[in-house]
Amino acid sequence: MPQFTDAYARSFYYLRLSVTDVCNFRCTYCLPNGYKPSGTHNKSFLSLDEIRRVTRAFAAAGTEKVRLTGGEPSMRRDFTDIIAAVRENDAIRQIAMTTNGYRMARDVRAWRAAGLTHINVSVDSLDARQFHAITGQDKFAEVMAGIDAAFDAGFEKVKVNSVLMRDVNSHSLSTFLEWLRLRPIQLRFIELMETGEGSDLFHRHHISGEVIRDQLIMQGWQRQPRGRSDGPAQVFRHPDYQGEVGLIMPYEKDFCASCNRLRVSAMGKLHLCLFGDGGVSLRDLLASDDQQAELQARIAHSLGQKKQTHFLHQGNTGITQNLSFIGG
């Protein structure tokens, strides 16, 4: 099977696979009212065998990296088995997850043993009270303990996602930088993005990542080259710091030119873009191992419809109502 490629000669090495829509946090920018099922129930999410088949199909078409996302992926009781199922594919060199961190201290060693190679944790503030206000959960100490547990389990680096928000954490760069001075953490500031339900919050709190980038460059941070299966972050390093800083800026010109990732939802739909209109159902081709060629053909054909860019600048957020499907 040839490499998945679209009409703009972009090759896709990176799959972001949601394994559940359920989340136990209530982040202000994502699910401020908490998770509410939308006519589905947990048994409707992709089964372990379906996950095995879809990742096998992507691996055979050149996928090198799979990120397991949610909702909160560790809400699945079989999450460790899911990691092991993805690990069965030799072509997949990186298995990552994005988590809110509340189960890391307990389970991260088992995840590592099952084959997890990279981990992203969402931490929008280093102030425990503000963390509680943003997430709706008083779990700051547990999440910090989880990050320590990840290092103890053998992870050489932990990525920390922080949604950049004006008047919330945009003024806290120095605090974040001091935190990663002696820790191999890649702190990733993600620009707040407009969604169907979050327009008011977006206009209140959006701030460009350029503000952070300018400060970093003034302080001697240098941008690093990007690997072909890396995510969209612009990564900066400084010789005086063990950690790194990444900036994800979807409103910047040519952001989509380097797109290398596809998404599959927890219900088995292929999404060509986070902010696209709808998805392509794959579920009917995940029932049997014998359907792999047909599954790959449907994915390859669908890539012909992938747009050159998103339309966020025009205020078109597609069907994305909140940010629970970003996955970090």
Q: Give dist(CA 328, CA 88) in Å, integer.
A: 24
Peptide bond into 146 cis (omega under 30): no
Q: Which two tokens stand for residue 130?
A: 């503000």
How far is residue 68's CA from residue 173's CA, in Å, rounded to a whole number? 28
Count of CB atoms within 10 A of residue 220's CB? 12
Which residues define the annotated binding site for S-adenosyl-L-methionine?
29, 71, 122, 193
CA angle, 43 then 274 then 77, to 5°? 25
Map residue 68 onto helix, strand or coil. Answer: strand
**Contact residues for 69 (Cβ-Cβ < 8 A; gap 6+):** 16, 17, 18, 19, 97, 98, 325, 326, 327, 328
**Residue list for the binding site:** 16, 23, 27, 29-30, 67, 71, 98, 122, 159, 193, 256, 259, 261-263, 273
Give the residue carrying structure tokens 């970093």.
Answer: 216
SS3 of 178, please? helix
Q: Which residues make up each annotated binding site for GTP?
A: 16, 67, 98, 159, 261-263
3-state secondary structure 196-213: CCCHHHHHHHCCCCHHHH
Please report, in range form, the residues annotated as the binding site for [4Fe-4S] cluster: 23, 27, 30, 256, 259, 273
Distance CA 162, CA 150 (A): 18
Closest CA to 175 of 212, 223, 135: 212
